[in-house]
Chains A and B, each alone.
Chain A
């Protein structure tokens, strides 16, 4: 049981390049999230998904797109990277139907630098 995994772990892009970050979870969770972490700002929600085939915007969605074609995978895309997107990106998931099943489980993160 690997939990939540993210690929790649590190990436350096040039301004204008594109890339896709992959998140995978093996806990059969319905809900998945993409966050970015910047110093002094905590975690900010980029996009999220409440189930296969669904996506929605979070707090800071501009410049990012997502897809959830399979329940276990949640992809984050940057179509034209900008230096402001230099950050650490975390994926999380949660599931269950009962009260108190809100705990989000996080992946190890992807450190992205845009030059």
Chain B
């Protein structure tokens, strides 16, 4: 079974400060990991993903995430937060070796990021 935990329901950060949104995962094999962002009354937008290779993944809008296999984490980061980054962020995982071909993702419960001006 695969699972994802986002331990913080809410993260507040001042504009211009670095931000981190935490994610830990559990899979039986090796993971594919994803971050999505959801703005109010919108669908989820893809930010970035880790498939293999370099542990530091760069994505859209200046976001990046670091895959840490020993800590089973995939925290989302940005060096300097913008007010426009305020949104709901979801981490998702798929076990690379999962049986079948359904490519199902398991999502975390989401973290509401608020960037204060």
Contact = CB atoms under 8 A, between A and B. Distances in A.
Given A42-B109, A100-B51, A56 B102 contact: yes
Interface of B: 9, 32, 34, 36, 41-46, 49, 51-52, 90, 94, 101-105, 107-110
A77 interface: no
13 contacts: A4-B43, A33-B104, A42-B110, A50-B101, A58-B104, A90-B43, A100-B52, A102-B94, A103-B46, A103-B49, A105-B46, A106-B36, A108-B43
A106 B45 CA distance: 7
A45 interface: yes
Nearest to A100: B51
Nearest to A38: B109
B8 to A, nearest CB: 13
A44 to B, nearest CB: 8
Interface of A: 4, 31, 33, 40-43, 45, 48, 50, 56, 58, 90, 92, 94, 99-100, 102-109
Nearest to B100: A50
A79 B5 CA distance: 33
Given A104-B105, A105-B46, 18 more contacts: A31-B102, A40-B109, A40-B110, A42-B90, A56-B102, A58-B104, A94-B103, A99-B51, A99-B52, A100-B32, A102-B49, A102-B51, A102-B103, A103-B34, A106-B44, A106-B45, A108-B42, A109-B42
Contacts of A103: 34, 46, 49
B83 to A, nearest CB: 23
Contacts of A104: 34, 46, 103, 105
Contact of A43 (B41, B49, B101, B107): B107
B43 A31 contact: no
Contacts of A102: 32, 34, 49, 51, 94, 103, 105
